[in-house]
Amino acid sequence: MLTAGPKGTNDIMPGEIEKWHYIEETVRDICREYGYREIRTPVFEHTELFQRGVGDTTDVVEKEMYTFRDKGKRSISLRPEGTASVVRAFVEHKTYAQPQPTKVWYMGPMFRYANVQAGRYRQFHQFGVEALGSKDPAVDAEVITMAMDFYGRLGLRDLELHINSVGCSLCRPGHREKLFEYLKPNAKQLCNLCQSRLERNPMRILDCKEENCREISEGAPMTADCLCDDCAGHFEKVKKYLDEVGVSYVINTRLVRGLDYYTNTAFEIMASDIGAQSSIGGGGRYDGLIEEIGGPPTPGIGYALGIERIIAAMERQGLEWPAGRKIYIFIAALGDEAREAAFKLVRDFRREGLTAEMDLMGRSLKAQMKFANRLDSAYTLILGEEELGKGIITVRDMAAGEQQELPLTGIVDYLKNKNT
């Protein structure tokens, strides 16, 4: 117990974290270019926020939430996703009173009590964006384009962008009724989950992965067949904007996504080569959500992607990771006095912004040189009692394999000038 983390959690160790930093930097770059600003919300919220904001009938809320009572007897849940918190903050801080749209991004851990398998964890990390305050189809297209640009910048290939429109509060009830009538005669053949969905949320039956349910819903009325004029026009415009920037997509009429608050555009990005958990991100419009949680009627759209799955997809595709930062200077020192001088010297280097290390294990000179090699240091400095007495230090350029003796004073400037 004590020597293993809880099931479904991962340690991101040095060696691995550099990949995360690279992805995080790419996130920051893309978001800056697209005019999105970072928002950080708490990792726990009142349970009710997710019940209302994500939806009571969703698997995420029904089965996968980490919910507990705090010492004040409030029901608290660890966030299973990021949108509800962003919307809560938007309402709480009255951001809607400022010029719109509000464009924000977030990144951080999410928690779901899911069945653990490759690509499915209980603590995982999402990067997401939300654009609140505009109904313009250009915003839908911007969010989708940004997601695709992000994957592209990481070098990911062979991705499929699936898009659909799930309609709005005007056209959805008509679709729901038609779908219910269509599925009712075969209700008993549906899987247990879909039987319970039939009354509550029949649209979700369309994206059930069970073979039998798929067959039953094969000729069913799809949301795209029942759109009102506004929704149909909106969807056409989104597609036009995507065409304009050359973002290719597949229309997937079964794509309804698992969360209740989605309206109009829904989209999901698949990587064909990461196995069963092929979704590496998705999102959609949620024009009803802000009002649902107590704000003024405000449209919104967003998406979220799983960072673990991005890394898995990048590894599968054999993409290069940028080289990690090397130790620039290693000081091998021998003898008490030389070690004390080295201790001061590493600090002098660090104060000048250089990465410097010295031996902290009491190794022999030979072992220190070997260790410097392992660290892949650019320069190894050798300081013994003799050098110290003469006021010099031996500087070894590791790449060139050459060494020279230089005055101890001025060594900081010398290596600082080399580090260009």
Which residues contact ligand AMP (rule: CB under 6 A)?
81, 112, 114, 119-121, 124, 126, 279-282, 304-306, 308-309
Instruction: Return the HEC string of 195-242.
Output: HHHHHHCHHHHHHCCCHHHHHHCCCCCCHHHHCCHHHHHHHHHHHHHH
> Given the complex with ligand AMP, which of 221 and 300 has the nearer CB atom?
300
Least distance (Å) between residue 202 CB and ligand AMP: 20
The greatest distance separating any two alpha carbons of the chain, rounded to the nearest whole angstrom, comes to: 96
> Given the complex with ligand AMP, which of 117 and 169 has the nearer CB atom?
117
> Given the complex with ligand AMP, which of 262 and 349 has the nearer CB atom?
262
Which residues, including other chains, have CB under 8 Å from residue 141's CB and lie 6 or more apart?
Answer: 237, 238, 241, 242, 245, 247
- Angle value at C-alpha 44, between 101 and 278, nearest 5 degrees: 70
Least distance (Å) between residue 253 CB and ligand AMP: 18
Helix (H) or strand (E) holding 370: helix 365-375
Least distance (Å) between residue 340 CB and ligand AMP: 50
Least distance (Å) between residue 208 CB and ligand AMP: 15
Please identify the residue of the shown chain whose CB is closest to the bound ligand AMP: 306
Which residues, including other chains, have CB under 8 Å from residue 390's CB and lie 6 or more apart?
Answer: none
> Given the complex with ligand AMP, which of 102 and 126 has the nearer CB atom?
126
**Alpha carbons 363 and 228: distance in angstroms, whole number:** 76
> Given the complex with ligand AMP, which of 47 and 58 has the nearer CB atom?
58
Helix (H) or strand (E) holding 366: helix 365-375
> Given the complex with ligand AMP, which of 10 and 248 has the nearer CB atom?
10
Hey, what amino acid is at 285? R
| Number of Cβ within a 10 Å radius of residue 417 | 8
Least distance (Å) between residue 351 CB and ligand AMP: 42
Q: Are the beta carbons of 75 and 110 closer than 8 angstroms?
A: no
> Given the complex with ligand AMP, which of 146 and 331 has the nearer CB atom?
146
Query: Cα 179 to the chain's mean position, in Å?
Result: 35
Task: Classify 402 as helix, strand or coil.
Answer: strand
Least distance (Å) between residue 191 CB and ligand AMP: 20
Which residues, including other chains, have CB under 8 Å from residue 174's CB and lie 6 or more apart?
Answer: 226
Classify residue 279 by burial, with Cβ atoms within 10 Å: 0-12, 13-18, 19+.
middle
Token output for 412: 């900081």
> Given the complex with ligand AMP, which of 279 and 355 has the nearer CB atom?
279
> Given the complex with ligand AMP, which of 106 and 124 has the nearer CB atom?
124
Least distance (Å) between residue 309 CB and ligand AMP: 4
End-to-end CA distance of the chain: 48
Least distance (Å) between residue 302 CB and ligand AMP: 10
Which residues, including other chains, have CB under 8 Å from residue 34's CB and lie 6 or more apart?
Answer: 103, 142, 146
> Given the complex with ligand AMP, which of 44 and 113 has the nearer CB atom?
113
Least distance (Å) between residue 11 CB and ligand AMP: 15
Least distance (Å) between residue 121 CB and ligand AMP: 4
H-type alpha helices, 269-306: 289-292
- E-state strands within 101-215: 102-111, 123-132, 159-165
> Given the complex with ligand AMP, which of 260 and 387 has the nearer CB atom?
260
The residue among 140, 146, 179 whose CA lies nearest residue 163 is: 140
